[in-house]
Structure formats: structure tokens, C-alpha cells
Amino acid sequence: MTIFLTGVSGFIGRGLYEKLLDLNDCSVIGGTRFKTLDSGFAFVEYGNVNADTSWLKLLYNCKVVIHAAGVAHISQYSVDTSKLFARVNVDGTLNLARQAASSGVERFIFISSIGVNGNQNHIPFTAEDVAAPQEPYAQSKYEAEVGLLALAKETGMEIVIIRPPLVYGPDAPGNFGKLVRLVEKGIPLPLGAIHNKRSFVALDNLVDLIVTCIDHPAAANQVFLAGDGEDLSTSELLRGIATAMGKPSRLLPVPESWLRFGANLLGKEEVVDRLLGSLQVDISKTRDMLGWTPPISVEEGLKRCFAKE
């Protein structure tokens, strides 16, 4: 089996590529937007991802495509960034999928986002919930999902959609990376009395789920939520990060109401919502249909973030 993986130089793609190299009876083509000289791997370059990208040479004889490339982690949204999300995450994804179908690819695995379900909840999201994306990034992922499922009906190519929450691991970007840097600096944080619940997924757990979906018969044309199966409050996550780093957590038990009041004064409501709000996922469908269990715990996942090689 030949697998084509996009976004191989990214955080998820890099970890997945290394895992795929260890699989028996499998050859892997790792594709990246632009080659990096110090990657240590023989990646192929495909340039910008959009409606005009030509993939046919890279898709020759491939049976599975795993699409991990995309645009994310843009802190300030604007009309231009929304257009960028649409151009890369929607048009680029569907263009790749159409060429994959015409090239005889049997299964297309798309790494989406739990943001398709929404930003916060009081009841854990399920894969069957009505989509409610709240931001341009999540909206672009949802539109790509809709297009892919329509393409599956049109062409017969199997589609698998995986929606992870925040992914953490060594050198993780985004919000997890920001929390790590705060703990590393040793600055006292007013986040010691937060009682929310949030789901996360360790990179190793997400990679294991993606690998499971490569050839599992029950995965065809399904949407799966990813997660560690253990939910933490923001306070618990910060303490876990500090423990894994071997540093004190330095968390001050400031009441949540005070934090929200201060955020309103400073116009930082969205930032505080991410820190104080709950976002849980129900992975029972993933467990039941695929017979899948997250192979490592949150504690082990955090340890691996800072393990010295």
C-alpha cells in the first residue's frame, strides 16, 4: 500500500510520518509545501495548496491520502485571513480530493477540527451533533467536510474525517505552546481555581487513531472525534505541565468571576473564554466502531512533551 501524506513538515504531519515509516507492507510519500534542508527526510514539494495545485504525479499508484496540511493558528482574523482559509482549507482540500478520486485513491483521511462542533459546551460534543463552527478556521474545515462527503457519494472514494481538540506534544504550536512558555517562565498565574473541563489529545494518541483509520473497514465515510478519554480543568492542565517539566506550577487561586471582570475591562473576553470555558468531546463512537483505545494517558502524554532524547 502506498500512502500520500500532506503537511508532513507540520506538527501533526511530522509525528504521523515517523509512525508511518515503521508500518510493514506500506510505503509513504511525505509531501510538504516547501522542502526544508534540515528535515532529514526525503520529502516531496508541492508548493502552495489551492484550487490550482497539481497533485497527479504524487498520487500515482496511491491507495490512501492523509490530508494534514492546512492553515491554522492565525490569532487575528480578517477578511483576508478568511479568504486564505477558504483558498487553502476548502478549495485546496477539495481539489486534492478530486484528483485523488480520479487517480484511483481508495480512501481519503481528512484532519479536521473539533471547532466544527463549536468552541464551548456543557454537554460533551459527539460526532453526530449538528455542526456549529464559530470562527473562520472552523468554518473552512466544515465546508471542506461537506464537500468531501459529497465527493464520496459522487465518486465512491471513501472519506474519513477526524476532528481533534487541542493537540499537544513536543514543541506543540498554538495555545498549548503558549501555556508551556508561561509555565517555563515561572510567572505566577491567576489560574489556580478554574473548575472547567476540557478534552485534549496527545499527538501519539491522534497518530495512533489516524493509523487505525487507514484500513479499518468501519471507518469508511465516517466522522470521528479524537481525544485522550480524560478531561482536565485549565488548572489541572497547568499543574500537569509543570510536573512534567519538573517546575513549580505557581498558580494563584483567583476567583473566576474576578478573571472575567478583568477580561471585560481589557477587551480580552475571547482569551479568557478559552481558558475558563469547557469543551469536552465524547469519543465513544470512535471507541465502539473502531475498537480503538487511546494508547497513552494524559500523564504519559505530558511527560513525552518534555522527555530528553
Among 167, 165, 164, smallest CA distance to 304 is for 167
The one-letter amino acid code at 230 reads E
Within 10 Å of residue 75's Cβ, how many Cβ atoms? 7
Sheet containing strand 198-202, strands side by side:
166-168, 198-202, 231-232
- The per-residue DSSP string of 158-212 comes to EEEEEE-SEEE-TT--HHHHHHHHHHHHT--BS-TT----EEEEEHHHHHHHHHH
The one catalytic residue among 46, 137, 142, 168: 137
Instruction: Answer yes or no: are the C-beta atoms of 51 and 84 closer than 8 Å.
Output: no
Among 112, 111, 215, 102, smallest CA distance to 156 is for 102
* Burial of 177 (C-beta count, 10 Å sphere; 0-12/13-18/19+): middle
Catalytic, 137? Answer: yes
CA 11, 199, 173: angle at the middle one, nearest 5? 25
Buried b (16+ CB within 10 A) or exposed e, 210-246: bbbbbebeebeebbbbbbbbebbbbbbbbbbbbbbbe
Catalytic positions: 137
